[in-house]
Structure 1
Amino acid sequence: MIKKLQNREKLSTTYLWSIFIVVIIIDFLITVALFSIYCAAQISTAAKNSVSQLEQVRTSTDILFESMEAVVNQLANDADTATFLLGESTNRLREAAVGLKIRTLCTANPYLRFITLYNDTSKRFVSSGYAGDDIKLNAQEFYDRLGDQPYVCFFRPIGDAYNVQLNKKAMAYTFVFRINLKPNSGSSDLVIIDVNESYFNNALAPIRVEEHEQRVLLQGTEQEFIAEMSALPAQELFSVAAGGSGADYPEAKSMESSGSMFFHTPGQFWFTTYVRSAKVGWTFYNMLPYQVVLGALVTPAILTVTMTLLTLAFGYVLSRWLSTHLYQPIKALYENYVDSAGEKKGNELELLSQAFSDMYLKADELERGLIASFHESKNFYLRALLSGERERVQGSLSTYRRLGINLNAPYYEVVVLECVPQEDMSREVGGKENLFIPYYALENITRELMGPALGVEFMRIGENHFAVLLYLEEPQLNDTLRQGLETIVDLMPREFHIDTSICVGQVVDSWMDINLVYEQEKIALHSRTASHYGRVFFAWDAPEAMSSDLYYSGLHTRLADCVRSGDLEACAREFDQALAAMKEISFKSARTYFRHILMSVLDVFFAALERDNEFFSKMMERLESLDRCENVRALRSVFLELLSSLSYRLSVGRKNSNQDAALQTKAYIDEHYDDPELSLRMLAERVQLSPAYLGRVFTAVTAYAFNDYVNQVRLEKAAELLRNTRMPVSRVSESVGVLNTNYFYSLFKKRYGVTPSAYRKGGCGKEPEEAADE
């Protein structure tokens, strides 16, 4: 008994820790995910704020640069300055005048420390701080730094360069511009502008993060670092030093105008943001230790850890509850066994076994249902592809990718199969064809034999019709795939008693042309299966096949004859035959071809329509709508609709001349309504018109369709017989020419709202208008 209790306790503990470990893993993953989101949000916010502050510094620099460009332009356009720069000898009076001019410009711009001109020919300097000849500037150093650039900037001490500079340790940002007033001399002069160090210190003051170490770098146009501003935690302002190079300086690899990056120096990790100036060509870097950016995450981290501990506590309680409930069936089994003999006290074991069996069966049914649902969903989207529903396909590209339907294959081939069970197979299953196994085998055989293709899609499109979509690497079926189709045709009747005919269409290079090939194959399979029964054949395998460069000249003539006779069914057949005969033609080319055919048909009837401008304009509008058709079904519908409108318009012109024929037909129906053989075709022969045309003339003259008028006359006579005689309903039906009594009942109730028997009992039925209202 003690051993049993120990085993039960051990099993319960196993359940508990198994569930609790899962809870710990999930809790850990959620914690890491949440904290990662917090970190990403904090870093993104810090980057945006830092970039925004650097953009203000960039704006200040752009304004400074524009001011210096304005100074250079004023000096270049000033007469005294130009005279000095063009001079080849020393003229102190002229230099004094230029010095006053420069001093005026320097005074107008308080952030400019000195402005200096250098004449390369006379080797003379003139400066706003000019006092005698004591200007210690090295012109060659400026030319070396300038190189081929239009300007250069560097950070340097200016105390020894100018004798009027009192603070000999003063530093300045020196901008050197090239000015060339002697284009043919082969040399250029210089404009040297020294900007106070305090200008950038003031511009950078707003971005100083107090109580933390910080570095700001200015990088020039040639990727050189002009200056480095740094501040320790106790400093309020930046200390400026000349820039350098090496591993202590970052480099923004991205070509974006601004951004953030990670940078590491010995002993420190830096969160670095940068902004580029398109005008000056500089890059500004703001570097802060990473702990500054992540310092704001302390509170969220504490909250996250607290929530983690709370959820772990809740998870432990939930784990104990689940382990207890999961252990109850096992506990019941332990209680129904004895230790010595091991015999059961009850049938709980069988019940538990049966429960597990039921669970597995349900799981299996669920799996099969999911698989069937996947196949149904895939077939739905395959049908949209075969039917040419372009808007649906283009709006569901992600779904097609998820279902594994390749819309980017190099080439496509559509194959349509027709399967007809043999007679002996029908007899074996008692006259009811159980085709699930043969059709399932057909799908698997097809997928296996078409394996060399890039991919295979198989779907059922009718009771005994199947479509196969192949993804190909080359614009034709290779010998392996052709032999595979021949194997299917040979194997299915031999092994499964199913005669199989396979129609192969042209290879296309776009999914938009799949619909055209599919419709061609359906037409070809319907019209040529008798001659190609049980074989592999091509959709264009017929004498009337045509290619894209061959004009099917007789089609518009035959269509014109059909329009004259009002035979729209013949028009539809002509359309299908022309579509099936096309070879190596895209859907766009087929649409253009049928548009040309319609225009040719309109030309045939131009003489009859030339006076009816309104109708002709409407026809041209419908012709334009042909170009908006996205698939063969829409193309066929618009094509036949236009021919129908044309036929109706022509019939209106002949209406008066055939009115007598319609009236004769009406009189014949009134007199011979009891003839079961009464039909439109019979009466058309009497008046020597085509059935379709007579039907339209009859409707135009009497405002009744032929069958509606015949049924009305017969039902009125039947109602009269029911009221005035005791003749059985079946005899009444035969007396008015309706041999099928059930059909007579249906017609009578539809018109009068009651059955013939009820009509007779009531003496009279409802009027047709009343029945229709109900």
Structure 2
Amino acid sequence: MNGKLMGDNRNLYIKLLLSTILCTVLTLLVSSTIYYVNYRTINLNEVYQSDLENLTQTSREVISMTESAQSLTFQMYRNGNISKLMFYENPDIYDTTAAMRELSNYLNSMPYIASIYVYNPKAPYVYIAASSGQNGLMTKEELVDQDILEILQHFQEYKPFVPIPRTYLKDASGSKRSNIYTYLCYDAIGNDNELNSAIIVNITTDWINKDIGKYRGTEASNSFILDNKGRTLSGDPLNPSVTLTPESAITQQIMSTKNAGYFIGTVGGMKSLISYTAPDSLEWRYIRFTPYEIITRKLNAIRTTTIYIGVSILVVGLFISWLLSRRLYIPIHRIVTKMKSLESDKRNSLFTLKQDMLRKLLQGHEPLTAKWMRDKRSELGISFDFGHDYRIILLRIDRFQPFLQKHLDDLHVYKYAIMNISSEIASQAFQVETVDMGDDRTVLLINAHNVPSDGDQSMLQTLLKQIQKAVNELLKISLSITYSPQSSLPQDLVPLYRKIVEASEHRLFLGAGCLIASQDHPYPETDDYLFTVEKEKRLVDALMAGKVAEAKKIYAVIIEETRPYPISVFQATLSRLTITLSGVLHTILKNNSLDIPSSLLVSRQALAKLETIEEIEAAFFESFDEIKKRLDEKRSMKQDDLIRKINDMIDLNCGNPNLCLNWIADILDMSPIYISRVYKQNTLNAIVDVINTMRMDRAKDLLKQSGLSVAEIAEKIGYTNSSYFYRMFKKNFGVTPTDFRKAELLEPGNQS
């Protein structure tokens, strides 16, 4: 027994130490791989930049030579002696000698020129000035460089002063061909487009770039030139493996872009770095192949060294693991003994551990894996099968806050009783596990037991109603129940639980004791909801105006609009309305000098304890009604005093021409709109009408009892314009002031 335990301890220690060593080795290898890739990229870029600089310099030299050759040719065409060779069929000996002397001078002045040809198709000779090889007057048959005659016969295929890379024999006795650039300048003026004359300047390639135009087997790199059609203008004809064709993949890839760049390709069976320039003014591109092995030789050595180091660490680690495992099994034995003790304690509190584990699964704190289902279910005695068809049912205690205040000490007992009752009823048709989720929540996890796997919706609802009824009868507790759709996927457990928790909040609208199917309450995104600011403004205006009935209707509409959305939308809307209404109530009470008892204002803490819309509305509406009651009492007293003051001012200042609504408002230091509304609400008359009526009554009295003129009477009662007084009097009594006085005088009782 002890030997087996010691062996287990050693194995455990080996696993721990090997894990550490393997992590170290893998870290070293991964980091080295990353560095290797980065350094390789940097190295390739450095080689490419070096190649690009070299090739670009070659391009500049070729273009410079082209410009020199062009300038030299133009000088020759303007030279009188040389022009005789080009246009005279048989120039005399003196002209020929002078022209050849001029050609020699041009040849000697520019050492990079290998030879100069002057060609006249009508003349029997080709005039040659060369530093070596054939020199002087040569017939076309004697000319060793027969390739130039082929070029002249097809001169239309060549652009003037575009260098033609080629090789030629200097003399008939030699066999070595020299590499040159040929610059062709010709005269082909005329309708027949025939060649009239030509000057050919041959420049040796040694003055431009030793790599271009030839292959050196002892060198690592090879360089080439491509024209604008992808044709190779230089290369080694003896080494066809590194010769490009317009159809080759490398040529196609280079010609597909107008920029300089590089890529990795296979050239002559060898992996190489292919660098190339952008087209120059001659529309040539310069290309260089460098074997990839040479570039990455040092990096490969670093990679190999890193692998050796990693393997060495692994071997040493294996030896250390074996050595230390033989010596350090005692501490491991103590750990294992402690773990056995903990396992024993765990078995003694199996129910608590099972509850905690199921709670963590539902809340997403514990991953539900195949290994977990294989190990933990049997270890904790969980009968629920997460791989079989299942549902999640959430039971919530209604009116939880009052219940909690009354049964705080016995809450866990009541929750345990609810779990037992619901489990006993549900187990008639399902395999059941119950979980206490804290607060007012209890969860039932049910598997199909002796009913079809697709379940029976009506049977499930009947069973849940039985649970509600049994809990209500036995414990006097009302339950709201929310159930999820059926699923057989373990990964759906957490999302289903979250959905039924969210759907259970719909109890706000359905009331206590409701039965909710979470799939019947799909919620749109909260971004689709727009808070109705316009309704909020109308609500504030209605409260400020004392229109409580209207305010209640608007409040109910705003809350009802949140019903189709997640509970977070309702909570945010309720929070905003609470803040807004609190501000309005403070303003109303402050403006009217009313006391603000704490019971009159609705707080968010108080609302959080309410569970249904009816309870929340009742709290707000009670506050609305109480404020209206206080305002009505306050306004009734204030408005009676205000009306009395207004009537006294009208009576005392009837003859004041300034008497009007605004004048009264200024004297009272109040809003004209406010006093006009209050006056009309209480007297059913407008202030302006009362002023006009009082003035007209006094005018009648003065017309009857005084001898004042109509204009004097108008002024006495506050009218500065007698014509306006006439119109107002006639409007009110149907006759003019004069006719009224005459009618009064004609009455029998009024005659003197």
TM-score range for the pair, normalised by the shorter chain length: 0.3 to 0.5
TM-score, normalising length from structure 2?
0.43
TM-score, normalising length from structure 1?
0.42
